[in-house]
Amino acid sequence: MIAEVGLFVLGLALLVAGADRAVRAAGELALYYGVSAFFVGVTVISVGTSVPEMTTSIYAASYGAGDLVVGNIVGSETAQITLALGIVALIRPVVAQRRNVAIYGSAMILAMIVMILTLDDGVVGRSEGVLMMLAYAQFVYTLYTNEGGEEVTEEVVDDRLPPRETVPWIALGLAMVVVGGNLLVTNGTAIARDLGVSEYLIGLLTGLGTTAPEIVVAGIAAAEGREGISVGALLGSNITDPVFSLGVGALVADVTVSTGTIGASLAYMLGVSILVLALMYWRRGLDRRAAVACLFLYPPSLLV
């Protein structure tokens, strides 16, 4: 049991660190070759920041651990909209234009609804996976037409480094992701069996783990007074995960879940997301009092 927990934590660390390094290096390489920051934001980074969830989804679908797939995505979604936003706004109030909240928020809610509808019968098949990928393509188009790509890139990539410095990091990062994802899923399912808890709960906790680096990076940026913390950077992965990450897993193998187990937490995820977005829209951002409210909204997600 101790060995399994250790390997699980190691897998999570490799998965998150590898994805972060690979995404940053890929963005730097693209900028070096003259690809616009705008396009990098809507492609490399928008997809890349959800690499941990996608990798977990692929492995878990292959092993038949559908509850872990969905738990990971729901856990990540809920932590991002409550903990991440709450911590950032507690350090430095978030100022957001209503137009941006409406664009990103609507796309996020739509992505969540698509996921909930596809999970209604307990199985996400390959055809539904394809449709989910198409739904994500629509988001990328919306982001592109509303000029949101450049601001997302600025949150992740600082330099334009040459291939000799970026390519090795991309290769190493992807290798870490592959190894880490396998360790996380295989040992996560084993821990669930040993403890007698659901794979879904393990997935929820894993979702918090994959979101932790984003929380830390956004928190540090806020503490340093950087004004570039955008609604797109904070909410972008919450649009990618429900449709793209789950859809990728469904393309590998049918994702089967226990509908009785996940219904309440799916409803809670959607409910708190609408609540926080409505608050952001109404107040044109989040002040410290709203941040505290966001933080208190996270713990119940582990109990429903």
In order along its 304 residues, the chain shows pLDDT tens digits of 777 778 878 877 877 777 677 767 777 777 777 665 555 655 566 566 667 777 777 877 777 778 888 888 888 889 888 988 888 888 888 777 787 788 778 888 988 998 888 888 888 888 888 888 887 877 777 666 665 555 555 555 566 677 777 778 878 877 887 777 677 767 777 777 677 777 788 888 777 777 776 676 666 666 666 544 555 666 766 777 788 888 888 888 888 887 666 888 899 999 999 999 999 888 888 888 888 998 999 988 888 6
CATH pick for 2-302 out of 3.40.50.2300, 1.10.357.10, 1.20.1420.30, 1.10.150.120: 1.20.1420.30
- Cα Rg of the chain (Å, integer): 18
pLDDT of residue 264: 86
β partners of residue 95: 285
Whether 54 contacts 244, CB under 8 Å: yes
pLDDT of residue 58: 80
- Residue 73: closest CA among 97, 52, 94: 52
What b/e readout covers 7-21, taking b as 16+ CB neighbours within 10 angstroms? Answer: bbeebbbbbbbbbbb
pLDDT of residue 270: 94
Distance CA 25, CA 159 (A): 9
Read off the pTM. Answer: 0.78
pLDDT of residue 269: 93
pLDDT of residue 227: 45
Distance CA 34, CA 23 (A): 17
- Residue 250: closest CA among 90, 94, 95, 60: 60
pLDDT of residue 274: 94
| SS3 state at 38 | helix
Whether 237 contacts 80, CB under 8 Å: yes
pLDDT of residue 40: 61
Distance CA 147, CA 108 (A): 17
